[in-house]
């Protein structure tokens, strides 16, 4: 009995520690996360997102769970894949692997760039959408960039040519954890040099890229959702028939 109580107490204590750590981490995230546009059913947006991913993300990040020929599911033909998207492989049946050496990447960025196959399921589309729109110039960083959502991130701004360069607008506020100290909070950005895209166009491009990352995390999700509706409809009809059959069977016995 004592061993059982100790085991229960240990589980409760571990749960409290994990919850406290999670709450502590949540409190550190002060930059607001914005809602990502829903484009998972927009084929044109997914195709544009695939183009952005291959041209800007696949230089450092791999997607080892995604094969190039799976892009046919979003309307990209084998010929289009070979001519426009097949940069780091020879056959369309190969996975999206980065050509950069992982050891070199760790030395350059301080950490190995993560595989992006299921990054949307790990981080969420809203987080990714906000993250890719929160880079700013920071001369104190080795890459020259920082991020308002992911402070001191090792990743440079891969889409800076599209967005342009920006400085962060900061205000000093009282530290909620220590009222005697003041902390700097980013409240916005100031455009320094223009990008190839206007701000609204850049936001749309990021939304397309995030939609592709969301699709890549589960390419069959649209088919699964459609099939799920039919299954629910079938179960609903079957439930009604089963109820009527049951009522008809027991009416004479009652």
Contact 149, 161 (CB under 8 A): no
Can you read off the two tokens belonging to residue 48?
């544009």
Which of residues 48 and 87 earns the better pLDDT score?
48
Contact 116, 62 (CB under 8 A): yes
Question: What pTM value is reported for the model?
Answer: 0.76
Transcribe 35-98 into DSSP letters.
PPP--TT-HHHHHHHHHHIIIIITTT--EEEEEGGGGGGGT--HHHIIIII-SS-SSTTSEE--
Can you read off the two tokens belonging to residue 102?
């992982």
How far is 32 from 127, CA to CA, in rounded Å? 10
Contacts 24+ apart (CB under 8 A), 137-143: 137/165, 137/166, 137/167, 137/168, 137/192, 138/168, 142/110, 143/109
Distance of CA 4 to CAs 9, 10, 107, Å? Answer: 9, 10, 49
Q: Using CB atoms within 10 A of its CB, is residue 59 exposed (0-12), middle (13-18) or buried (19+)?
A: middle
pLDDT band at residue 51, thresholds of 50, 70 and 90? very high
For residue 17, pLDDT beyond 60: no
pLDDT of res. 213:
96
pLDDT of res. 254:
60
Average pLDDT rounded to a whole number, residues 74-94:
87
pLDDT tens profile 236-248 = 998 998 888 888 8
pLDDT of res. 175:
66
Indicate the average pLDDT of the chain: 84
CB count within 10 Å of CB 136 equals: 20
pLDDT of res. 110:
73
pLDDT of res. 12:
46
For residue 74, pLDDT beyond 80: yes
For residue 14, pLDDT beyond 80: no
Extents of the domains making up the chain: 31-217
pLDDT of res. 179:
63
Under DSSP, the state recorded for 99 is -
For residue 164, pLDDT beyond 70: yes
pLDDT tens profile 170-227 = 887 776 666 667 777 888 999 999 999 999 999 999 999 999 999 999 988 877 877 8
Q: Which of 79-88, 105-114, 210-219, 240-249 is predicted most confidently? A: 210-219
CB count within 10 Å of CB 111 equals: 11
Average pLDDT rounded to a whole number, residues 146-159:
93
Give the pairing type, strands 164-175 and 178-194: antiparallel
Contact 71, 169 (CB under 8 A): no
Which of residues 130 and 102 earns the better pLDDT score?
130
For residue 75, pLDDT beyond 80: yes
Domain 31-217 is in which class?
A: mainly alpha
């Amino acid at each position: 009995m004592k061993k059982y109580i100790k085991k229960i107490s240990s589980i409760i204590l571990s749960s409290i520690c994990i919850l406290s750590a999670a709450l502590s981490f949540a409190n550190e995230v002060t930059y607001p996360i914005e809602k990502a546009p829903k484009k998972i059913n927009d084929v044109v947006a997914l195709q544009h997102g695939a183009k952005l991913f291959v041209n800007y993300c696949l230089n450092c990040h791999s997607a080892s769970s995604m094969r190039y020929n799976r892009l046919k599911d979003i309307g990209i033909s084998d010929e289009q894949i070979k001519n426009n998207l097949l940069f780091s492989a020879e056959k369309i049946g190969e996975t999206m692997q980065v050509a950069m050496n992982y050891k070199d990447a760790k030395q350059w960025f301080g950490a190995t760039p993560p595989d992006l196959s299921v990054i949307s399921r790990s981080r969420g589309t809203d987080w990714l959408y906000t993250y890719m729109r929160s880079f700013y110039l920071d001369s104190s960083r080795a890459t020259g960039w920082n991020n308002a959502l992911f402070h001191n991130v090792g990743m440079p701004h891969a889409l800076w040519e599209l967005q342009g360069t920006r400085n962060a607008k900061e205000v000093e506020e009282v530290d909620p954890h220590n009222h005697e100290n003041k902390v700097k909070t980013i409240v916005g950005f100031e455009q320094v040099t223009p990008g190839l895209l206007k701000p609204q166009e850049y936001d749309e491009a990021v939304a397309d890229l995030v939609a592709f990352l969301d699709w890549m995390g589960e390419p069959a999700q649209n088919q699964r959702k459609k099939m799920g509706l039919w299954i629910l409809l079938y179960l609903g009809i079957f439930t009604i028939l089963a109820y009527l059959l049951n009522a008809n069977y027991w009416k004479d016995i009652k």
